[in-house]
Structure 1
């Protein structure tokens, strides 16, 4: 049985273990345990039979704009709509919060386009996003990620 739930502080160790290969490959930014703890309310986790198989975060930037970030699905569970359901869960949360738009930076453009996101110029991203997150990336300033947005 698969279930989706908000993260707890006790989940951080398993979250960090799951995301480590994607951090090492440069796909996902490294976030310290303290940073994850500070933002724990933004994470939605996916479990199958008690095993953590994926998660993502809905990070709020402004009163109208949030970001889907840190989307990860464990090898062996990809291609089964787990990531899609995680994103959809976050989009429902965004709507319930009254947000108007959700953005993402991704190497998986077709995945997000299937969910209704459309490409936007990176120059339109909030400046604080670049200086808070992008500057920590090993690919900065030469980034191949695509920025997309969905209007709710």
Structure 2
């Protein structure tokens, strides 16, 4: 397997793979146009024969925070190291950019703990919440675990946003 930055010609494969995981809410919907506009944020993993296996994006909010998003590998290829290659590549990219903290929201925290991500409070990742959570259909019952690696951004450096309140059962509710 090999890792490389995505090119515009990869947008269709990226869109199809992400879209196949949006019907059940595993991933947030990304339109084909959004993927094309943000193709520079994507990294892909492929076989030596150039067969597309998976992708992930690194969204940079500033030197204080970047987010790993849309990380997914094709069904049947999970467990062979493609996801790990993607995470390692994006962490390297964030380090090269001088980003102090990398975050993500996930339903499989055990996978990311291997890379030293730790559970974080949703409210500390206000840039992420402001960008995506306000538009998410699960914003009033978030079942994802917020995780981060590095120095969490101070609350006073983040844009003001709606408060986040924990609910029973580990869900988080955004007060809109």
Q: Give the TM-score of the pair, scaled to structure 2.
A: 0.81
Listed as ranges, the gaps of 5+ residues in structure 2 are 152-176
Q: Deviations over 1:89-116 (max 9, x none)?
A: 0001111111111000000100011110
CA shift for structure 1 position 39: 1.4
Higher helix fraction (1 or 2): 1
Q: Deviations over 1:121-142 (max 9, x none)?
A: 111112x422321223222221
CA distance in 2 between counterparts of 1:99 and 1:10 reads 28
Corresponding position of 1:139: 138
**1:22 lines up with 2:15 in the alignment:** no
Which structure is richer in relative contact order (CA contacts within 8 A, separation 6 or more)?
A: 1
Preserved contact between residue 26 and residue 137 of structure 1 (Cα < 8 Å): no
Corresponding position of 1:53: 53
Larger Rg: 2
CA distance in 1 between counterparts of 2:42 and 2:7 reads 9
Corresponding position of 1:129: 128
CA distance in 1 between counterparts of 2:19 and 2:99 reads 30
When structure 1 is superposed on structure 2, of 91-100 and 132-141 the one drifting more is 132-141
CA distance in 1 between counterparts of 2:95 and 2:22 reads 29
Preserved contact between residue 29 and residue 136 of structure 1 (Cα < 8 Å): no
Q: Give the TM-score of the pair, scaled to structure 1.
A: 0.93
Corresponding position of 1:84: 84
CA shift for structure 1 position 75: 0.8
CA shift for structure 1 position 47: 0.8
